[in-house]
């Protein structure tokens, strides 16, 4: 999934700079407590924006659509 997400961001022209592991884990912790998080068999999805939470939380140019991080 990560390679596909990276490729999509590259094709869109977005920066693929990633945050530190610590920052990613902080973001994930916030998302795991969010009422919009949906857990599927393979990954967690944000019901508000539709993102794959694990992927979105690791990029510098991404942000929470409801301003939690």
Question: Quick one: CA torsion of 23, 24, 25, 31, rounded to 10 degrees?
Answer: 110
* pLDDT digits 0-9 by tens, 8-60: 666 665 555 889 999 999 999 999 999 999 999 989 999 999 999 998 998 88
Q: What gap in Å lies between CA 44 and CA 42, rounded to an integer?
A: 7
Contact criterion met (CB below 8 Å) for 16 and 10: yes
Where are the domains positioned within the chain?
2-56
Using DSSP's 3-state secondary structure scheme, residue 38 falls into strand
Statement: the pTM of the whole predicted model exceeds 0.85: no
Contact criterion met (CB below 8 Å) for 61 and 14: yes
């Amino acid at each position: 999934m990560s390679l596909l997400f990276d490729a999509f961001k590259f094709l869109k022209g977005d920066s693929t700079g990633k945050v530190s592991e610590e920052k990613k884990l902080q973001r994930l912790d916030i998302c795991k407590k969010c009422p919009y998080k949906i857990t599927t068999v393979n990954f967690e999805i944000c019901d508000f924006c539709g993102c794959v939470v694990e992927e979105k939380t690791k990029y510098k140019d991404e942000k929470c659509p409801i301003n939690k991080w």
